[in-house]
Amino acid sequence: MRRSVFHIKHTLLQSIFWLLLCSLLWIPAQHASAQVRSSIDSTAIKIGEEIQYTIEVVTDTTDLVVFPEGQTFLPLEVIESYKIDTTYEQAKYRLIKKYGLTQFDSGSYTIPPQRVVINEQIAATDSLRVEVRDVAVDTTLQKMFDIKPAMDVADPPYDFLKMLYWLLPLLLLLAVLGYVLFRRKQKREAEEKQLPPYEEAIVALKALDHSDLLKQNRSKEYYSQLTEIVKRYLDREVDDAALESTSDELIARLQLHKDAGHFDFDTETIQHLDDVLKRADLVKFAKMQQATEQAETDRKTIESIITETHEVIPEPSEEELLRNEAYAEAARKAARSRKRKRLIGIVIMVALVTITVNGVTQGWGTMWENLFGSEMSELANGRWIKSEYGNPTVIIETPDVLIRKEIPIPEEVKEVVLSSQYFEFGSKDTFYVSVNTNTYNSKMMQDEDMDLDVALEGGLKGIEALGGINIVTKTEEFSTDKGISGLKAYGEFELSDNKNKKIEYEMLLFKQNNGLQIITIIYEKDLTYAEEMKERIIRSVELEILEGAS
pLDDT in tens, 198-230: 888 888 888 888 888 888 888 888 888 888 988
Mean pLDDT of 432-446: 77
Q: What is the pLDDT of residues 401-427, one digit of tens each?
A: 899 888 777 776 677 778 888 999 888
Residue 64 in any domain: the answer is yes
Mean pLDDT of 238-246: 83
Residues 411 and 539 reside in one and the same domain: yes
126 CB contacts (<8 Å, ≥6 apart)? 38, 113
Residue 139 lies in a domain: no
Last residue of a domain, one of 270, 298, 314: 314
Neighbouring residues of 91: CB distance < 8 A, sequence distance ≥ 6: 60, 61
Residues 326 and 285 in one domain: no
Q: What is the pLDDT of residue 516?
A: 86
What was the pLDDT predicted at 433?
A: 93
Residue 12 has pLDDT above 90, yes or no: no
Please report, for the domain that includes residue 435, its CATH number: 3.40.1000.10
Residue 8 banded pLDDT, cuts 50, 70, 90:
very low
**Within a domain: 40:** yes
Give yes or no: residues 295 and 436 share one domain: no
pLDDT at 487 over 70: yes
Query: Within this chain, do residues 296 and 330 fall inside the same structural domain, yes or no?
Result: no
pLDDT at 30: 35
Among residues 268, 298, 314, which one ends one of the domains? 314
Residue 299, Cβ neighbours under 10 Å: how many?
Answer: 19
Please tell me the predicted confidence (pLDDT) of residue 544.
74
| Domain at 36, CATH number | 2.60.40.10
Do both 169 and 278 map to the same domain? no
Q: How confident is the model at residue 20, as a pLDDT?
A: 32
Pick from 251, 248, 247, 195: nearest CA to 226: 247
How many domains, in total, are found in the chain?
Answer: 4
> Quick check: 142 pLDDT over 50?
yes
151 in a structural domain: no
Q: Is residue 146 part of a domain?
A: no
Q: Domain check: are 241 and 334 in the same one?
A: no
Section 246-251 average pLDDT? 86
- One domain for residues 169 and 263: no
Q: Tell me: do 402 and 259 sit in the same domain.
A: no
Task: Map residue 118 onto helix, strand or coil.
Answer: strand
Q: Tell me the residue range of the domain where 57 lies.
A: 5-133
For position 53, what pLDDT does the model report? Answer: 93
Average model confidence (pLDDT) for the chain? 78
pLDDT(5) > 60: no
Task: Kindly give the residue spans of alpha helices, DSSP state H, lying in 193-239.
Answer: 197-209, 219-237
Q: What is the pLDDT at residue 32?
A: 44
Q: Give pLDDT, residue 353.
A: 74
- pLDDT of amino acid 28: 39
In a domain, 144, yes or no: no
Residue 364: is its pLDDT beyond 70?
A: no
Are 198 and 306 contacting, i.e. CB atoms less than 8 angstroms apart?
yes
Least confident segment among 92-101, 182-191, 414-423: 182-191
209 and 305 in a single domain? The answer is yes
Q: Same structural domain for residues 387 and 364?
A: no
Identify which has the larger pLDDT, 458 or 161. 458
Whether residues 388 and 476 fall in one domain:
yes
Query: What pLDDT is attached to residue 216?
Result: 85
The answer to whether position 183 is within a domain reads yes
Q: Which of 142-146, 204-208, 465-469 has the highest mean predicted lDDT (pLDDT)?
A: 204-208
Judgement on whether residues 255 and 325 belong to the same structural domain of the protein: no
Percent of the chain predicted with pLDDT > 90: 8
Residue 254 lies in a domain: yes
Distance, CA of 108 to chain centre: 49
Residue 177 pLDDT more than 70?
A: yes
Give the span between the Cα atoms of 287 and 282, in whole angstroms: 7
